[in-house]
Chains A and B, each alone.
Chain A
Amino acid sequence: DADVTQTPRNRITKTGKRIMLECSQTKGHDRMYWYRQDPGLGLRLIYYSFDVKDINKGEISDGYSVSRQAQAKFSLSLESAIPNQTALYFCATSDSLTGQETQYFGPGTRLLVL
């Protein structure tokens, strides 16, 4: 089984709808991240979380919210989706306790907002 899973893998929604993207990990890592990937713009950080009680805004948090329901689960919500939120979304984890900075990415969720 994959260490970092994302659901759904693909989603089509309409402008104004609320949607939630979910991320789960079995790596036991304390840190989790949400990124969006757009062609020519690379990966941009939306939110990150050190643990269940510590959530921080990233570079492009406007229009998004997150919830860290447990150490292993980190959800991203679009309260009212708009077309320019069409993108590929990735969840990632890392382990601060080992001092390693490697981030482990999920397979991504492709979102289309019509």
Chain B
Amino acid sequence: QQQVKQSPQSLIVQKGGISIINCAYENTAFDYFPWYQQFPGKGPALLIAIRPDVSEKKEGRFTISFNKSAKQFSLHIMDSQPGDSATYFCAASFTGNTGKLIFGQGTTLQVKP
């Protein structure tokens, strides 16, 4: 019930296209859903996050869509650029869980020029 399942494991998109990464969770107590971005040789860094009181959050070309009833959330990268090539992790946590994040399996995105 603590798991977060992420798909696809890898994704290749042409420059200018839309990249979509999906995550599903079981624990309905989760109330914080961040996405982390990791470049090769670097540690993950927070990209964008959402709470379940809204269905969508947008920051520039990055959007999180959240479906509470389906227990799913997704990251959309509009106008994908080669510089977006990285590994993306979704995660979840809940209030009172001492800041612990449960991470998905990761998606390696390659944006071709």
Residues of chain A touching chain B, judged by Cβ–Cβ distance below 8 Å, are: 4, 31, 33, 35, 37, 40-45, 48, 50, 56, 58, 90, 92, 94, 96, 101-108
Interface 1/0 per residue, B2-32 and A, CB below 8 Å: 0000100100000000000000000000001
Q: In the complex, what distance in Å separates the CA atom of A106 from the CA atom of B45?
A: 9
Q: Which of B9, B43, B104, B105 contacts A92 (CB under 8 A)?
A: B43
9 A-B pairs in the complex with CB atoms less than 8 angstroms apart: A42-B103, A43-B103, A44-B103, A45-B101, A90-B44, A102-B46, A103-B99, A103-B101, A106-B43
Q: Which residues of A contact B98 (CB under 8 A)?
A: 31, 48, 50, 56
Q: In the complex, what distance in Å separates the CA atom of A114 from the CA atom of B109?
A: 30
Q: Are A42 and B6 in contact (CB under 8 A)?
A: yes
Q: In the complex, what distance in Å separates the CA atom of A97 from the CA atom of B69?
A: 32
Q: Are B43 and A48 in contact (CB under 8 A)?
A: no
Q: Which residues of B contact A41 (CB under 8 A)?
A: 105
Interface 1/0 per residue, B93-108 and A, CB below 8 Å: 1000011110111100
Q: In the complex, what distance in Å separates the CA atom of A108 from the CA atom of B42?
A: 7
Q: Are A101 and B44 in contact (CB under 8 A)?
A: no
Q: Which residues of A contact B100 (CB under 8 A)?
A: 33, 45, 48, 58
- Interface class of chain A by DSSP: strand
- List the B residue with the shortest CB-CB distance to A105: B43
Q: Are A107 and B9 in contact (CB under 8 A)?
A: no
Interface 1/0 per residue, B58-87 and A, CB below 8 Å: 000000000000000000000000000000
- A9: min CB distance to chain B, Å: 9
Apart from A43-B103, A101-B32: 7 A-B pairs, beta carbons within 8 A:
A31-B99, A35-B103, A41-B105, A101-B49, A102-B46, A104-B45, A108-B42
- B56: min CB distance to chain A, Å: 20
Interface centre among B41, B93, B100 (most CB of A within 10 A): B100
- List the B residue with the shortest CB-CB distance to A30: B99
Q: Are B99 and A101 in contact (CB under 8 A)?
A: yes
Q: A101-B32, A105-B45, A107-B42 are in contact. Are A94 and B99 (CB under 8 A)?
A: yes
